[in-house]
């Protein structure tokens, strides 16, 4: 661990950074999967969903960056190469031959919900270690991605 401006103990910083790196792996994987859906989607809902998926990708890219930078601020490193992500992500691989609009919606809804479970777990780690600032960051992600999951689930009803 590097020195950090944080007042948390080294053990606390290390635990939180580990949880953040796990979420970074999921988030980078999810970002690639959302782009695959954005590129390959076809069907009557294309005009609405193609740009919607892009807004998800842009918001996730920003959150991934914030998570990585929080881990380094806490004195850890941020891990994010494609090979590292492939070995660590909890998300299942995306079926890249999918084209139908609503099938992409279902696949992304499932993956966003899985991503959210991990983010909530990481938030619990930050809460246990009294890291209000990481809790804040993670709560922002939960709020935003629960909204995205709602958009997708509403499209399926
Ligand atoms: Fe695009």
Give residue-wise pLDDT tens across range 8-20: 999 999 999 999 9
For 37, the token pair is 């859906």
DSSP the chain: ----S--S-HHHHHHHHHHHHHHHHHHHHHHHHHHHHHHH-BSTTHHHHHHHHHHHHHHHHHHHHHHHHHHHHTT------HHHHHHH--SPPP-TT--BHHHHHHHHHHHHHHHHHHHHHHHHHHHHTT-HHHHHHHHHHHHHHHHHHHHHHHHH-
Lowest average pLDDT, out of 1-5, 27-31, 46-50, 139-143, goes to 1-5
CA of 8 from ligand 1 middle (Å) equals: 41
CA of 31 from ligand 1 middle (Å) equals: 13
CA of 128 from ligand 1 middle (Å) equals: 39
CA of 54 from ligand 1 middle (Å) equals: 6
CA of 71 from ligand 1 middle (Å) equals: 29
Q: Is the pLDDT score of 1 beyond 90?
A: no
Q: Report pLDDT digits (tens) over 26-83.
A: 999 999 999 999 999 999 999 999 999 999 999 999 999 999 999 999 999 999 999 9
CA of 97 from ligand 1 middle (Å) equals: 18
CA of 34 from ligand 1 middle (Å) equals: 11
Rounded Cα–Cα distance for residues 72 and 66 (Å): 10
CA of 111 from ligand 1 middle (Å) equals: 20
Please indicate, yes or no, whether the overall pTM of this predicted structure exceeds 0.85: yes
The pLDDT value recorded for residue 50 is 98
Across all residues in the chain, what is the average pLDDT? Answer: 97
Q: Is the pLDDT score of 145 beyond 90?
A: yes
């Amino acid at each position: 661990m590097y020195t950090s401006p944080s007042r948390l103990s080294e053990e606390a910083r290390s635990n939180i950074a580990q949880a953040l790196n796990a979420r970074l792996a999921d988030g980078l994987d999810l970002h690639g999967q959302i782009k695959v859906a954005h590129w390959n989607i076809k069907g009557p809902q294309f005009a609405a969903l193609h740009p919607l998926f892009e807004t998800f990708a842009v918001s996730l890219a920003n959150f991934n960056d914030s998570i990585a930078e929080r881990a380094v601020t806490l004195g850890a490193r941020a891990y994010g190469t494609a090979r590292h992500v492939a070995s660590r992500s909890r998300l299942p691989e995306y079926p890249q031959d999918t084209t139908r609009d609503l099938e992409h919606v279902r696949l992304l809804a499932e993956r966003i919900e899985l991503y959210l479970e991990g983010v909530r777990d990481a938030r619990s780690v930050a809460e246990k270690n009294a890291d209000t600032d990481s809790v804040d960051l993670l709560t922002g992600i939960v709020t935003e991605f629960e909204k995205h999951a709602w958009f997708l689930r509403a499209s399926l009803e």
